[in-house]
């Protein structure tokens, strides 16, 4: 809220909703870092006036969602559900989509790679946000572009390049 005489110096209106489903996510102390990483990612995508939901869930729900939407009977670390902006409706919502993260998948991957859970979670979250912005990694050049954006954004929040082995 602005007081009389104050100016809004921010040119963005980014709203991030964290929907915590799995109790293990409640222990996470990285919401500020997650917010910064998401904000930088959305700015990179020119989505300065947007809203995103980050659903922090468990392996069972992730497996169910992966089966329902991708016909794959396994859990995965992240799913991204972009809003369909091609609908012919007079009012377009600021909401650009949902990113769903699986605690157990991210924790397992971080442990296997001997990296910080928080660093890996932020990386996977950025990956999901880039999908909401339309980035894909089906074609090799698209994958290279997406990885380069991930590395750039991670560096801006102080996280090492996840594609290099530091062990």
Res 92 pLDDT > 80? no
Which is more confident, 8 or 26?
A: 26
104-107: long-range contacts, CB 8 A cutoff, minimum separation 24: 104/24, 104/58, 104/59, 104/75, 105/59, 105/62, 105/75, 105/76, 105/77, 106/77, 107/24
Query: What does the pLDDT read at residue 23?
Result: 84
Q: CATH assignment of 15-82+92-156?
A: 3.40.390.30
Query: What does the pLDDT read at residue 9?
Result: 37
Average pLDDT over residues 92-112: 92
Q: What is the pLDDT of residues 20-37, one digit of tens each?
A: 888 888 777 888 899 999
Res 72 pLDDT > 90? yes
Following DSSP, what letter does each residue of 52-86 receive, concatenated? EEEEEE-HHHHHHHHHHHH---S--SEEEEE--TT
Residue where the block lists tokens 């700015």: 43
- Give the pLDDT band (50/70/90) at residue 94: confident
Query: What does the pLDDT read at residue 7?
Result: 38
What is the model's pTM? Answer: 0.86
Query: What does the pLDDT read at residue 5?
Result: 37
Crossing angle for the helix pair 117-132 and 31-44, to the nearest 10 degrees:
30
Query: What does the pLDDT read at residue 91?
Result: 61
- Give the pLDDT band (50/70/90) at residue 49: confident
Show Cβ contacts of residue 112 under 8 Å, excluding neighbours closer than 6 positions. Answer: none
Res 11 pLDDT > 60? no
Average pLDDT over residues 100-107: 95
């Amino acid at each position: 809220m602005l007081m009389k005489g104050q100016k809004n110096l921010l040119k963005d209106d980014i709203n991030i909703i964290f929907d915590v489903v799995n109790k293990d996510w409640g222990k996470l102390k990285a919401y500020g870092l997650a917010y910064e990483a998401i904000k930088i990612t959305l700015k990179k995508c020119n989505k300065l006036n947007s809203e995103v939901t980050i659903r922090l869930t468990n392996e069972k729900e992730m497996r169910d969602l992966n089966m329902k939407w991708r016909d794959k009977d396994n859990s995965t670390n992240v799913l991204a559900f972009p809003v369909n902006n091609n609908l012919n409706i007079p009012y377009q919502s600021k909401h650009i989509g949902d990113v769903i993260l699986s605690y157990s998948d991210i924790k397992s991957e971080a442990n296997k790679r001997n990296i910080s859970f928080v660093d890996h979670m932020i990386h996977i979250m950025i990956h999901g946000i880039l999908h909401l912005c339309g980035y894909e990694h089906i074609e090799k050049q698209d994958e290279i572009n997406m990885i380069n954006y991930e590395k750039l954004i991670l560096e801006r929040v102080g996280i090492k390049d996840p594609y290099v082995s530091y062990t």
